[in-house]
Amino acid sequence: MSRAATSVASNIAEGQSRGSAKDFIRFLYISNGSVAEIQTQLILCVEYGYLMQEDIDVVWI
């Protein structure tokens, strides 16, 4: 989850620095994929009993 969270911010920054709207949008889509990855991992944490649903409801995006 740490890698995916870092990837979100890094891809947004990289896309913004490219200088074109098309590149920025492409990197936003990549970042969105990393957000979905984090959401999936949180769901799995609940399924495996590592966290309670109430724990992730506080941070759910």
pLDDT in tens, the chain (61 residues): 999 999 999 999 999 999 899 999 999 999 999 999 999 999 999 999 999 999 888 877 5
Question: Cα 13 from chain centroid?
Answer: 14
Rounded CA gap, 17 and 37, in Å?
A: 24
pLDDT at 61: 57
Domain containing 27 equals: 2-57
- Per the structure, the count of domains in the chain is 1
- Which letter, b or e, does each residue of 25-51 get, where b requires 16 or more Cβ atoms within 10 Å of its Cβ? eebeebbeebeebbeeebeebeeeeee
Predicted local distance difference test score (pLDDT) of residue 60 = 73
**Count of residues for the chain?**
61
Q: Is the pTM of this model over 0.75?
A: yes
C-alpha triplet 38, 42, 43: angle, nearest 5°:
120
